[in-house]
Chain A
Amino acid sequence: MLPTKSKVLAASVLSGLILTYSASAAQSKGARSAPAPRPRAPKAASGKSPGNQALERLSRMSPAEREKALSNLPPDRRAQVLKRLESYQTLSPEARARANTQLQRLQSLPPKQQNQVRGSLQEFQNLPEARKAAVSNELDRLGAMSEAQRTARMNSPEFKSRFSSSERQMIGDISRVLPPGK
């Protein structure tokens, strides 16, 4: 254990630190209570969903600001989010535009349908390779079709014979986020 003199010294240092902390807390309070006015993103500006706008905003932040904004997330989740953000930022302009279009289509669906699409995308990820290839080809094909052509295709006997009912549901859901071909 510490000798008494050391303890008194430690107490002095502790008090000093606490006073410094209190002063900085008060200072930061003052700073926080008068935040610099910052323009808020307008709703659905330039056709982007609020989620997309929020993402762009997060993307424009400095690393320190971003860390702070995500500070409430559990550490592994925060790391995952930062990694995903980095991938998003490194997309080519074309790939980013495609992703944004799909995102816009997904997020403009009613909430229940959004969930169905998300579930189907997860399900698609986990398909066995052979079935994944078949579903991929079909999605590629549907991606080039107009809405009317897609409906006709998905009602065709050939489509029904090639895919199970859950796969048909999956393809139908995922095709909602694919912009119609011309």
Chain B
Amino acid sequence: MRYRSFQCPSETAKLRELLLDYPAGRLEPAVRAHLEKHLAVCPACRDTVEAQTAVWNALDAWEPAPLSPDFNRRLWHEIDRVAAEPWYKGLVEWRPLLPAMFVALLVVAAGLMFTRSHDVLIQSAAPGEGVTTTEVDQAVSTLDDLQLLQQLDSVVRPESDAANEI
């Protein structure tokens, strides 16, 4: 990609990925240098890069759970079982079904294409009716906060009680 006249990535859809690739350390040195020069003078891009870097680092915190010690043993057991069968066995078993499966596959593919293409359009839409995922997230965080604050109810008396005591 050539960047002879460097346009602002936040304003140019084609260059937006630079703002994702920069914190990931996936830019070529020349492109990186161009972007860094731009970041020095563009607060919008700088904010995005800073926020993206923070997200990138936060995601680093999520380590996966360790693997069960018997994972390989279970898998090899299954593979041995499959390997013991002749490879054509599965095909022969289901041969009468192949035409029906082919038709079914076409129907499913059409159905999936139909629904998936719509899903792409509603990525940020709500999992529930009329509520966005951001709102759900806010509600969940608020419940977490309320849970933390709940303990204060038994600690801090309502003002009326305190006033009566005085």
Direct interface between A and B, CB < 8 A: yes
Write out, one digit per residue, whether chain B residues 105-145 have a CB within 8 A of any chain A CB (1) or not (0): 00110110011001000100011111101011011111111
A residues 104-127 near B (Cβ < 8 Å) are 106-107, 118, 121-122, 124-125
- A58 contacts B107, C-beta separation under 8 Å: no
With both chains docked as a complex, state the minimum distance between the C-beta of A48 and any C-beta of chain B, in angstroms. 10
How many residue pairs link A and B with beta carbons under 8 A? The number is: 165
Do A25 and B133 have beta carbons less than 8 Å apart? no
Q: Are B111 and A26 in contact (CB under 8 A)?
A: yes
A14 adjacent to B128 (CB under 8 Å)? no
- B130: chain A residues within 8 A (beta carbon): 35-36, 38
B147 interface contact, C-beta 8 A: yes
For B158, list chain A residues within 8 Å (CB).
Answer: 94, 98
Tell me if B153 and A95 are in contact (CB < 8 A): yes
Residues of A within 8 A of B147 (CB): 84
Let me know if A44 is at the binding interface, CB within 8 A: no
**Size class of the B contact interface (CB-based, 8 Å):** 35 or more
Residue B149 interfacial (CB < 8 Å):
yes
| Interface members, chain A 59-108 (any B CB < 8 Å) | 61, 65-73, 81, 84-85, 87-88, 94-95, 98-99, 102-103, 106-107
Q: How far is the CA of A85 from the CA of B136 in the complex (A)?
A: 12
- Are B143 and A125 in contact, with the CB atoms below 8 A? no
A58 adjacent to B139 (CB under 8 Å): yes
Q: Which of A70, A98, A139, A182 contacts B128 (CB 8 A)?
A: A70
Q: Which of B21-29, B42-50, B66-74, B93-101 makes up part of the contact surface?
A: B93-101
Q: Any chain B CB within 8 A of the CB of A159?
A: no
Flag whether B84 is at the interface (Cβ < 8 A): no
| With A19-B107, A69-B126, A103-B146: A136-B155 Cβ-Cβ less than 8 Å | yes
| A25 touching B143 in the complex, CB below 8 Å, given contacts A15-B100, A70-B136, A144-B162 | no
If A84-B147, A107-B145, A136-B155 touch, does A65 touch B128 (CB 8 Å cutoff)?
yes
The 4 closest A-B pairs by CB, nearest first: A69-B128, A11-B100, A51-B142, A22-B111
